[in-house]
Amino acid sequence: MAERVAVITGGAKGIGRGIALDLAAQRWSVAICYRTSQREAEATAQAIEERGGQALALKSDVSDPEQARQLIAHVEQAWGRIDALINCAGPYHRVPLLQETPAGWSEMFKNNLDPIFYLAQAAVPGMQARRFGRIISFSMANADKMEAQPQFTAHYIAKAGVLILTRTLAKLLAPDGITVNAISPGFIDSGSAPAGELEAVKKKIPIGYIGEVKDAVSVVRFLLSDEARYVTGANIHLCGGWGI
């Protein structure tokens, strides 16, 4: 049985990959969940093992409740436990609200909010049995401000929902020794945005530079640690002052 086990959605690339490799260096066993990025997921799994961790790369559409349940069951069967559930997956698109399609609207909730609920519902019983667990989900900087967002309304509402779900789970699960927290990034150079676009927004960031994957990794490392045992229901802004 593994010493510590994490499940990371969106773990094949970007911030999720950075977290996976950091945990591997601490000898965690890491299951990364992907939907379409098989090549990247396999490369990340290899890198996890090279750093001393155990790895699983599992294809799953966790917006489907049955697939989410099967993912958790697979990891528990393989390694006997899940200590940390880290929800990194969160696609978005920009489209003016009144031009949004029903499918596009639904997709934002289906892929940003629903999986956190389904995965928590599946993983929490095992955490409760051991009276230990960490759940971390990614929202977005300024989602707590409830501002009008005409260009990506559904995504924004879904990310605000992540914060509400985080606080609700935190309150429910605190008596079981399970902490539940959110991280809200601003602009992070995770490889998904063109360099020119990031450079253009730099002047809007009070701290004066774009965040890096390692900045997110360090916050996750803290929230998983014993030092953060009394931190639950928090929303940590990872934004250099942008959006607050």
Strands (E), the chain: 5-9, 29-34, 54-59, 84-87, 133-138, 178-185, 188-189, 211-212, 235-238
Distance CA 3, CA 29 (A): 8
Q: Are 126 and 73 in contact (CB under 8 A)?
A: no
Distance CA 161, CA 213 (A): 24
Q: Are 161 and 113 in contact (CB under 8 A)?
A: yes
Beta-carbon contacts of 46 under 8 Å, excluding residues fewer than 6 positions away, are: 55
**156 classed as catalytic:** yes
* Helical pair 38-50 and 14-25, crossing angle rounded to 10 deg: 20
Catalytic residue selected from 34, 92, 118, 156: 156
Distance CA 31, CA 34 (A): 10
Q: Are 90 and 14 in contact (CB under 8 A)?
A: no
Taking the CA atoms of residue 120, residue 141, residue 33 and residue 49 in that order, the dihedral angle to the nearest 10 degrees is -110
Which sequence positions are flagged as catalytic?
156
